Amino acid sequence: MESLIKYASFFEQEVEKYNFRSEPSNLYDPLRYFMGLGGKRVRPLLTLMASELFGTPKENVSHAALAIEFFHNFSLIHDDIMDEAPLRRGKKTVHEKWNTNGAILSGDVLLVNAYQQLALSQREYLKEVLEIFNQVAVEVCEGQQLDMDFETMELDEVSMEKYIEMIRLKTSVLLGGALKIGAVLAGADKQNAQLIYNFGENLGIAFQIQDDILDLFGDPEKFGKQIGGDIISNKKTFLILNAVGKGKKNEIETILKISDKELKVSSAKSKIQEWGVLDEVKKTKLHYYQMAMSALYEINVNDEMKQDLIALSNQLIDRAF
């Protein structure tokens, strides 16, 4: 834990040291604002940790960690426009505080800023790092598109496999990529770089499944969001799709039509437990978590070196239960 805080405070300093250009202020003010909203900074920490796992000090890869965080924030700024989200981390989103045009364009330049950071990589690793980053970036866009596509599809048109593929693309590949880039820049061999990618990708899927569970079953105080928000907005979460997969499509549709929010959420909670959906989804989460851990253990470095990554995984995956 102490070690995690060390990484986090190091990265926060790197963010503070970075200066966006001052002009045009309508382009860069939104970025200063948005990067200042904070967040868990999980992805850049993964880059730093992966580098140290393979014996290279975090200072050598801070540019890549920044590239990863810039990319993540670019995707949040644009996703917030598409989702018409008014708030992010409790503050106004960029398109709300400025306007949609400003949010499109500052997102664009933030993505380019990410590539500028990547370009600071050592020449010998640049091509590989760029290829990993590009692949991840394409997949994140594809995941966002699938997520939007799902909104207008029928409940039984979105299989659980399709859903897992969507969260893999939208969220998990970036965790994998953040780790792999840190590893490559630290001179890790191909096999180890692939293993750490697999660790991140599976951890990400476990995390997203947990996020769906917590939305309905989380402790309101710890979760920090409205409980049942996904159900209230009729989102096709992994819980819902699992219930539909169990032949409960009609029952789910009935629940989704309940107009009283509290009743809607409490009905969903009790039915999803009753049908055994919660247990099954927890099992699926555990499956991906174990896949992640087994990839981590296979990595050919001293196991003691892996403690920071294990601590971070536990922090991510054991948030509420």
> Per rule CB under 8 A, is residue 123 in the interface with a copy of itself?
yes
Distance CA 54, CA 243 (A): 43
Contact 43, 72 (CB under 8 A): yes
Instruction: List the x/- string, 187-226, binding to a copy of itself by CB under 8 A.
Output: ----------------------------------------
Count Cα neighbours of 148 within 13 Å in the Cβ-side half-sphere.
12
Cis before 57? omega within 30: no
Contact 9, 63 (CB under 8 A): no
> Per rule CB under 8 A, is residue 276 in the interface with a copy of itself?
no
* Shortest distance in whole angstroms from residue 203 CB to a copy of itself: 24
* Shortest distance in whole angstroms from residue 139 CB to a copy of itself: 10
Contact 100, 148 (CB under 8 A): no
Show contacts with a copy of itself in window 243-262 (CB under 8 A).
none
150, two tokens: 């799902």
Show contacts with a copy of itself in window 67-86 (CB under 8 A).
78, 81-82
* Shortest distance in whole angstroms from residue 148 CB to a copy of itself: 6
- Which of 12, 55, 86, 119 contacts a copy of itself by CB under 8 A? 119
Show contacts with a copy of itself in window 126-145 (CB under 8 A).
126-127, 130-131, 133-134, 137-138, 141-142, 144-145
Distance CA 141, CA 75 (A): 8
What sign has the CA pseudo-torsion 271, 274, 275, 280?
A: positive
* Shortest distance in whole angstroms from residue 19 CB to a copy of itself: 14
* Shortest distance in whole angstroms from residue 112 CB to a copy of itself: 4
Rounded alpha-carbon distances, angstroms, from residue 289 to 176, 205, 302: 14, 8, 21
Count Cα neighbours of 257 within 13 Å in the Cβ-side half-sphere.
6
Q: Which residues bind a copy of itself (CB under 8 A)?
A: 21, 23-24, 26-27, 78, 81-82, 100-101, 104-105, 107-109, 111-113, 115-116, 118-119, 123, 126-127, 130-131, 133-134, 137-138, 141-142, 144-146, 148-149
